[in-house]
A and B are shown apart, each in its own frame.
Chain A
């Protein structure tokens, strides 16, 4: 078609749109729901990713972290790290906290921090106070801030004194928020934070003690964390330190969120594909209602291509309207979801408009609309101009033109490529595409088979049965479309239920038959008898106890043998 013809097609489509949305509300609803789901999930994922990136330094506690086990950094290593930027030193070890009389005790995660801590973010305490002031040496004693659970375990209250090793420490506050909590790894006990200056008083740092030394560096503006980490490894190849940049620290959390976002995006895409059947049915109905107008246009001399273009433009204009509305809803979704995720994730979503996920969702929506609109629109070619003179049964053979078939294949491939390109796990996306294609093919074939079978059956004697049977295979009967819609819709429901059931079964079958219902640690030898007595008092309860101690190995002891 020439440019003036396209312009005229646009003009005719605009006139057609004066008829309003009558009959196309379902069409719009399908697009809005599907695209809004994809756009919303994408926007939430992007806002969480932005939150992680924005808070990555807080999550790690610095731009880079050098972790040394069992030994502190030597003078040269310390000097190297200090040269890179502001340095903060954190020492962590497991210890026992106890009341001054020793009556109550608790395993704790002891964290000794220097004055520079935290390099990023802020420690929030209750009652509100500065961390430095809370840990300072005053009234002849160092302070400690603790996880609220400690107070219960030791039966203590703020202002009381507890003992850790040889040191006496005053409880001055509880920890409400610790910016680098997510980077702490496995914690076996509630946390107690003290000043680095208080650590020697505990006398817990002995040769062979299981102590971790974290050196965190805040680089000057413009400093590159990765380059510094490489430089540190190159400068001290024998140091044996683990070096992480803030990007690496955020990676596991980002990966988890990516996988969740991918799964939800595929669910959204499924919703859009199911909606595609609705789109197809709605357009088929719309074109059927427009038969007199289409036939009139043909009678007056409009070519089939022009009429096809008019209705394609009309459909795509409405699709753009629906996609626009859906993108608006999707962009607002993170605002609605943010409060719900506040207590679930260690980072909060960074609100904003993220064009990339919105563009993906728009592409999904437009491609799906085109894919599902193409065949119903192709009916325009089969509407004879003579339909205005008498009721014309569609006598044309229902053969799809090669152009429409080629366009359908291209659009399917485009949609599949989009799903794969946008997925973090391409294998999952490919399986999804195979499943969706298979389901569509099976239910479309099943629909055709039902129509064929109904036509082959004889005429029942009972008029009601005869009418019912005829409705399956009469010309224009929606049997195949209904079967496809119901089949795909139910397949999605069953798939979701099966995924849930399989996950549950996976967990159940992977658990050992005698997996413990509860796992208790930190039971002291003098507490064991009482604990056993409590457990044995419970009918059916079985107690297995394993003594546990932690130790360290050195290369001299291993003598080049392998540890298994």
Chain B
């Protein structure tokens, strides 16, 4: 399904993806025939109970896990045909990831953490751009601080700045407010959506928070490794101003 708000071609195409992992107790079917399309610039929430396959689907879309069967195309790249280094390059150039546990590198300053994707891409002005990116998330005064010297909300904002710094086409966010209190989480989510809107990035957001899921244009519900619901949210029906208010 592709949203009518985003008439361009799909950025993400998933065709009958299956993922089976081995275990001492026998094979476990994690994903069972997932097919979907996500348009460029679309915001999609991925919801479902624990163990439904949300994180696994995100890993498959990020090229972090290879599906047992099926095909995945991101920005026109068939992930099945890419080697590990090519997948790493694709992530560097086209995919941003925001983790629940932030995963900033503890021995690097906030500035170095944000500059990392640019450095990996060989950008000459990595640190200048990273400083701007941190300023954009309200942390221009925390450039030389190490993660341990930042609060949880600040760490997640650094993580958001890092995820957006290389201008990714697709942003994968795995419960970005899961480790934050309500007020801080709200600030972080505002920051995330603001950046998404500014850059026109496709957003795939895993969350257990129904109000947060409603803030996306589209909601996909997984259960037992299958899509059981794929719908346009109320915010999509209400329009842009109401969506922002929501």
Contact = CB atoms under 8 A, between A and B. Distances in A.
B244 interface: no
Nearest to A386: B64
B99 A388 contact: yes
Given A299-B64, A301-B120, A389-B174, A16 B85 contact: no
Interface string B45-88: 00000000001001100101100000000000000000011001
Interface stretch (A71-79, A92-100, A290-298, A478-486): A290-298
Interface in B202-224: none
B103 A301 contact: no
Interface string A298-341: 11111111100000000000000000000000000000000000
Interface in A122-138: none
A18 interface: yes
Contact of A15 (B93, B97, B112, B174): B112
A8 B85 CA distance: 17
Contacts of A8: 119-120
B106 A304 contact: no
A303 B82 CA distance: 13
A16 B22 contact: no
A292 B108 CA distance: 14
Interface residues of B, number: 34
A390 B99 CA distance: 11
B68 to A, nearest CB: 12
Contacts of B89: 301, 303
Interface string A207-245: 000000000000000000000000000000000000000
A443 B16 CA distance: 49
Nearest to A306: B120
Instruction: Pick the most buried of B88, B89, B99: most chain A CB atoms within 10 A of its CB.
Output: B88
Main secondary structure of the interface of A (DSSP, over half): helix
Nearest to A14: B107
A278 to B, nearest CB: 24
Nearest to B121: A301
B63 to A, nearest CB: 8
Given A386-B64, A389-B55, A389-B58, A303 B88 contact: yes
Nearest to B99: A388
A4 B21 CA distance: 38
Interface string B89-106: 111110001010101111
Contact of B120 (A16, A302, A385, A386): A302
B31 to A, nearest CB: 13
B116 interface: yes
B85 A18 contact: no
B103 A304 contact: no
Given A299-B64, A301-B93, A303-B85, A386 B59 contact: yes
A375 B94 CA distance: 33
Contacts, number: 78
A305 B120 CA distance: 13
Interface in B110-130: 112, 116-117, 119-122
Nearest to B165: A300
A275 interface: no
A395 interface: yes
Contact of A384 (B64, B85, B106): B64
Contacts of A16: 107
Nearest to A303: B85
Contacts of B119: 8
Contacts of A303: 84-85, 88-89
Interface in B13-37: 21-22
B88 A298 contact: yes
Given A15-B112, A293-B105, A388-B103, A304 B84 contact: yes
Contacts of A301: 88-93, 117, 120-121
A547 interface: no
A19 interface: yes
B22 A395 contact: yes
Contacts of B122: 4
A302 B88 contact: yes
A388 B162 CA distance: 16
A390 B62 CA distance: 14
A10 to B, nearest CB: 12
Interface string A1-23: 00010001000000111110000
Interface string A372-390: 0000000000001110111
Contacts of A300: 91-92, 97, 116-117, 120, 162
Contacts of A385: 62, 64, 88, 91
A108 to B, nearest CB: 77
A19 B106 contact: yes
Given A8-B119, A304-B85, A299 B105 contact: no
Nearest to B103: A296
Nearest to B96: A300
Contacts of A305: 85
A114 to B, nearest CB: 77
A540 B193 CA distance: 105
A292 B103 contact: yes
A73 B244 CA distance: 118
B62 A299 contact: yes
B133 to A, nearest CB: 14
A302 B121 CA distance: 9
A268 B185 CA distance: 59
Contacts of A17: 107
Contacts of A15: 105, 107-108, 112
A300 B162 CA distance: 9
Contacts of B107: 15-19, 293
Contacts of B121: 301
A306 B103 CA distance: 19
Contacts of B64: 299, 384-386, 389
A233 B180 CA distance: 96
A19 B105 CA distance: 10
Contacts of B88: 298, 301-304, 385
Nearest to B59: A386
Contacts of B106: 19, 293
Nearest to A302: B120
Nearest to A294: B105
Interface of B: 21-22, 55, 58-59, 62, 64-65, 84-85, 88-93, 97, 99, 101, 103-108, 112, 116-117, 119-122, 162, 174
Given A15-B108, A301-B90, 5 more contacts: A4-B122, A16-B107, A297-B116, A299-B64, A301-B88
5 contacts: A299-B62, A300-B117, A304-B85, A305-B85, A389-B55
The 10 A-B pairs at the shortest CB distance, nearest first, are namely A301-B92, A386-B64, A18-B107, A19-B107, A386-B59, A303-B85, A385-B64, A389-B55, A296-B103, A301-B91
